Amino acid sequence: MPVVHKSAIKRARQSKKRHARNHATLHRTKTVMKKFAAAVQQHDAEAAQPLLREATSAIHKAVTKGALHRNTASRRISQLSTRFNALKAQ
């Protein structure tokens, strides 16, 4: 059996924990974004507005936790805002 350092075992354990945490954060974010997309698809601006705030908040939290890069978050928020503004303009 190969010799494995204690530090390598610890890093693997930490990696699993971080992966689970990041996965949960991103899953939460994607779920809110999908709800917003569904509201936009149904042309319901009143339902989409609070979902836009919730999605923006979830994306910012993902950045704070290190699960998303800030430029990616900025791009996604911009895309959501553009869709919402187009919906309001109709």
The per-residue pLDDT for range 40-70, each reduced to its tens digit, is: 999 999 999 999 999 999 999 999 999 999 9
In one-letter notation, the amino acid at residue 54 is E
Does CATH place domain 6-89 in 3.50.50.60? no
Cβ neighbours of residue 61 closer than 8 Å, sequence gap 6 or more: 25, 29
pLDDT score of 2 more than 80: no
| pLDDT tens digits for range 3-19 | 789 999 999 999 999 99
Record the tokens describing residue 69, joined without a space.
Answer: 């890069």
Q: Report the predicted TM-score, pTM, of the whole model to 2 decimal places.
A: 0.86
